[in-house]
Chain A
Amino acid sequence: MSEPALLDVKDLEAWYGESHVLHGVNFNVRRGEVVTLIGRNGAGKTTTLRTLIGIVGKRSGSGLLGNVDLLKVPPHKVARHGIGYVPEERGIFSKLNVLENLLFPPAWKTGGMSIDEIYELFPNLRERGATPGTRLSGGEQQMLAIGRVLRTGADIILLDEPTEGIAPVIIEEIGAALRILKERGITIILVEQNLRFAASIADRHFVLDQGKVVDEIPNSELDANMDRLNRYLGV
C-alpha cells in the first residue's frame, strides 16, 4: 500500500451542458494495477473516463500523473502522456480497414507493441488486415480497439465496458489478453458492469453512485463484501 499512485484523480466534476454529472470522483491507480469503476447505469463511470481524456465540455478537479495534471493538458495532448482510450462504442473507423485502424493513432511513446505482437495477443485479427474495420464482429472490433492503443506506447489504458454485448468465448479471450497486458506492466482503468469479469482481473474496485465514488473494495475482499456491493448496484 505504500507505493505511490501512478494516477491520482481528485474531486473530478463534469457537466454535460447544464446538467452536472460528476460530483467529486476520487480514485487512484498504481503502476501495473487494474482497477475497475463499477456502478449502475448513469452512475458516471463512462463520464469519468471521458472527463480524464477531455471529451466533456466543462470539468474541474485534477488527475495527477506524476506532476502533470491531465485536466490542465489540452485534450489533443493527453495521449502524449501515455493514456490510451478505448471507448465504449469502440470507435472503429468504418472508412479504414483493420490494419489502417491499427496503424491510425500516432505512437507518442516508445515501447509500444508491434503489429505482430498485437496479432499474437489477438489471433482473430491476424489475416483480417484488409477487412473494413466495421465488418468485424463486435468482439473482434473490441480486440481491434484495444490493439489499436497498444501500438501507441500507452501505458495507462482506459477501457470502457469491453465485454458489453460480446459472446462469452470472446470475453474469455479478451480477459486473457488483459491479464497478459497486466503482466507486461500496463495499468488499466476498467469500466465494467460484468462483475465476474471484473473480479477475474482487477486489483481494486471503486464503486460509483450518482457521480461520486462511494466505496473502494480490494478484489481479495470482494466475496466478503458481496451484499454491500449488490446494494450499490441495486441487484
Chain B
Amino acid sequence: MTDFLGVPIPVLLGQLLLGLINGSFYALLSLGLAIIFGMLNVINFAHGAFYMLGGFVAWYLLSRLGLGYWWTLIATPLVVGLAGIGVERLLLKRLYRMDHLYSLLLTFGVALMLEGLFRHVFGSAGKPYPVPTLLSGGLNLGFMFLPMYRAWVIVVSLAICLITWLVIERTKLGGYLRAATENPSLVQAFGINVPLMLTLTYAFCVGLAGFAGALAAPLYQVSPGMGSSIIIVVFAVVVIGGMGSIGGAIVTALALGVIEGLTKTFYPAASSIAVFVVMVLVILIRPAGLFAREA
C-alpha cells in the first residue's frame, strides 16, 4: 500500500504538512482577529497588512541592519505592536461607540494605504529571506522528508496559540478581558484601566500578526500583497469558528489548512474555494459559527 485513493502516500503526507503550515499561519492570524473582535468589537481588516508589515520588518532588519533571524523574531512583533498602538490610540479608539461598520472601513483603509505604501517603496516583487542555518535541512522520517523550518513553524505557532488561549481563559488578566467585553464601564468602575487594556490587547494581537509575517518570511517571499492574499481566508476561519471564539479560531484554522491541503491532493481545481464552501455550509447550518458560545 503506497497509494491512498490513487494518491501516493508521500504526496498525501506532503500536502497534509503544507496544510498544517498554512493552518498555523491561519491560526496565528485568526486568533488575533477573534480576540480583537471579541474584546474591542472591531473587525480588524488591517490584520493582513500587519502580517505583511511583519514580513517587511523582518526582511529589513536582516538585509539592511544585519539582525539575525532569532532577534528578528523578537523585534518584529514589538515593532508591529507599536504600530498597532499608534493605530488604536490615534484612530480606532474614537470609533468604539459607533457601529462596527466604521471601524471596519477604517481598518480597511489602513490596510489599503499600508499595502499601497509598501508597493510604492519596495515594488511588487517578492523579497527573498533565507532560512536560518539552525533550521535548514530536514529530517527523513522514512515515509517522507520533513523540512526543519516547517516543523518549527508548526510547533511555535501552536505553542503561541495555546499560551494565548490559556492566558485568556484561565488567568485573572484574561478574566478582566472577558468581563470587559461584557460590561466595560462596570469593569472600569471596579478600578481597572479598560482603555489601556484595550490598547494593549490590540497591540498584542497585531504583534502576533507581525510575528506570523516574520515566521512566514523564509517560507514565502516577503511582498506587499502577502497580507491581502491571506486575510480573506483568515476571515473565513473566524466566521466558521464563531466570531470572537478564541479556541474555535485556533481549531478551525488548523482544520481548514488541512482541508485545503487535502483538496489540493484530490481535486486541485477546488483547493482555493474549499474554505469558502465550508464557510457557506457552516453559515447555513450553524450561522453563529461552530464554536460560538450560547448567549
Contacts and interface: CB of A to CB of B under 8 A. Distances in A.
A92 to B, nearest CB: 9
Contacts of A79: 189-191
Given A76-B192, A96-B178, A152-B191, 4 more contacts: A75-B185, A77-B191, A79-B190, A95-B179
B191 A93 contact: no
A55 B193 contact: no
Contacts of B183: 91, 93
Interface size range of chain B in the complex: 10 to 19
Nearest to B196: A76
Nearest to A158: B189
Interface in B170-225: 175, 178-179, 182-183, 185-186, 188-195
14 contacts: A55-B189, A75-B189, A79-B190, A85-B190, A87-B186, A93-B183, A94-B182, A95-B178, A96-B179, A100-B175, A104-B175, A106-B192, A152-B190, A152-B191
A79 B189 CA distance: 6
B190 A106 contact: yes
Contact of B175 (A54, A74, A78, A96): A96
A48 to B, nearest CB: 14
Secondary structure of the B side of the interface? Answer: helix
Contacts of A106: 190-192
Nearest to B192: A76
Contacts of B185: 55, 75
Pick the most buried of B178, B179, B190: most chain A CB atoms within 10 A of its CB. Answer: B190
B189 A85 contact: yes
Contacts, number: 54
A117 B183 CA distance: 27
Interface string B80-124: 000000000000000000000000000000000000000000000
Contacts of B178: 93, 95-96
B179 A93 contact: yes
Interface of A: 53-55, 74-80, 85, 87, 91, 93-96, 100, 104-106, 108, 152
Contacts of A104: 175, 179, 190
Contacts of A100: 175
A97 to B, nearest CB: 11
Contacts of B188: 54-55, 75-76
Contacts of B293: 95
A105 B191 contact: yes
Nearest 4 Cβ contacts at the A-B interface? A79-B191, A105-B190, A91-B186, A76-B193
A63 B183 CA distance: 25
B57 to A, nearest CB: 33
Contacts of A75: 185, 188-189
B179 A76 contact: no
B178 to A, nearest CB: 5
A100 B178 CA distance: 12
Contacts of B186: 85, 87, 91
B45 to A, nearest CB: 27
Contacts of A95: 178-179, 182, 293
A85 B183 CA distance: 13
A133 B30 CA distance: 30
Pick the most buried of A80, A105, A108: most chain B CB atoms within 10 A of its CB. Answer: A105
